Chain A
Amino acid sequence: GIQVEQSPPDLILQEGANSTLRCNFSDSVNNLQWFHQNPWGQLINLFYIPSGTKQNGRLSATTVATERYSLLYISSSQTTDSGVYFCAVEGTFNTDKLIFGTGTRLQVFP
């Protein structure tokens, strides 16, 4: 099956800093989503981005499907950005399940 790797595994930032999170996947995908898991365990849907670039406020994401990676950019980070960021992909062959990466744990300090 598809392998999904995220880097870095852990990231510690001071408030106001920018960061880039990476998601590599091993095969073609139909769907790619970025999620933020907050300290209460909720999975917040950030982006649905199988290809191209999208922006939402301080967050943006780019997926280069042909090179099998996606990037999540967080600018001017805030303490509320803390949590775990997951990338999840859906393969192309007769499946619609999401395969999650192991996540990037982000801690933002004031």
Chain B
Amino acid sequence: EPEVTQTPSHQVTQMGQEVILRCVPISNHLYFYWYRQILGQKVEFLVSFYNNEISEKSEIFDDQFSVERPDGSNFTLKIRSTKLEDSAMYFCASGGDRDQPQHFGDGTRLSIL
């Protein structure tokens, strides 16, 4: 069964540095998402992306964050000038259509020191 793959599985970064989290969505999917989960809390929506542009974003997704689909297969989340509170598990998801399930990757655990 096709999978969403995320790299790296774990990223440790100094506060203030930039990080790029990478995702390869399922190949024929058109809708892409990033979510995050702070340790012990529920999963929160960050951003959705369709047709090469952001279709929706949450209050969390401020100017510190950006997303990009640099080629036909990758979908990236960039966090500039990381803060301690950015430490979380970041999940990428993709969907074939708006009325179809979202498929999640295994996540990237981001630790900011």
Chain A proximity of B104: nearest CB distance (Å): 4
Chain B proximity of A65: nearest CB distance (Å): 14
Measured in the bound complex, the distance between the Cα atoms of B33 and A31 in whole Å is: 15
Please state if A96 and B31 are interface contacts (CB–CB under 8 Å): yes
Residue of B nearest to A47 (CB): B101
Q: Chain A interface: which size bin?
A: 20 to 34
Measured in the bound complex, the distance between the Cα atoms of B52 and A93 in whole Å is: 21
How many residues of B are in contact with the other chain, CB < 8 A? 27
Q: What residues of chain B lie closer than 8 Å to A30, measured between beta carbons?
A: 98-99
Write the A84-110 contact mask toward B (1 if CB under 8 angstroms, else 0): 001010000001111111110000000
**Given A41-B89, A42-B107, A100:B102 Cβ within 8 A:** no
Please state if A100 and B56 are interface contacts (CB–CB under 8 Å): no
Instruction: Determine which of A48, A98, A102 lies in contact with B35 in the assembled complex, contact meaning CB atoms within 8 Å.
Output: A98
B84 within 8 A of A: no
**Given A42-B106, A43-B107, A102-B42, A31:B48 Cβ within 8 A:** no
Measured in the bound complex, the distance between the Cα atoms of B60 and A97 in whole Å is: 14
Instruction: Determine which of B31, B42, B95 lies in contact with A100 in the assembled complex, contact meaning CB atoms within 8 Å.
Output: B42
**Given A41-B89, A96-B48, A96-B56, A35:B42 Cβ within 8 A:** no
B45 within 8 A of A: yes
Please state if A96 and B107 are interface contacts (CB–CB under 8 Å): no
Residue of B nearest to A30 (CB): B99
Interface residues of B in 81-113 (CB under 8 A from A): 89, 91, 93, 95, 98-104, 106-107, 109
Interface residues of A in 24-41 (CB under 8 A from B): 30-31, 33, 35, 40-41
B43 within 8 A of A: yes
Which positions in A face B, CB cutoff 8 Å? 30-31, 33, 35, 40-43, 45, 48, 86, 88, 95-103
Cβ-closest 4 pairs across A and B: A48-B101, A97-B45, A100-B43, A43-B104
Excluding A30-B98, A41-B109, A96-B55, 5 further A-B contacts by CB distance (< 8 Å) are A42-B107, A45-B103, A88-B43, A96-B48, A101-B42
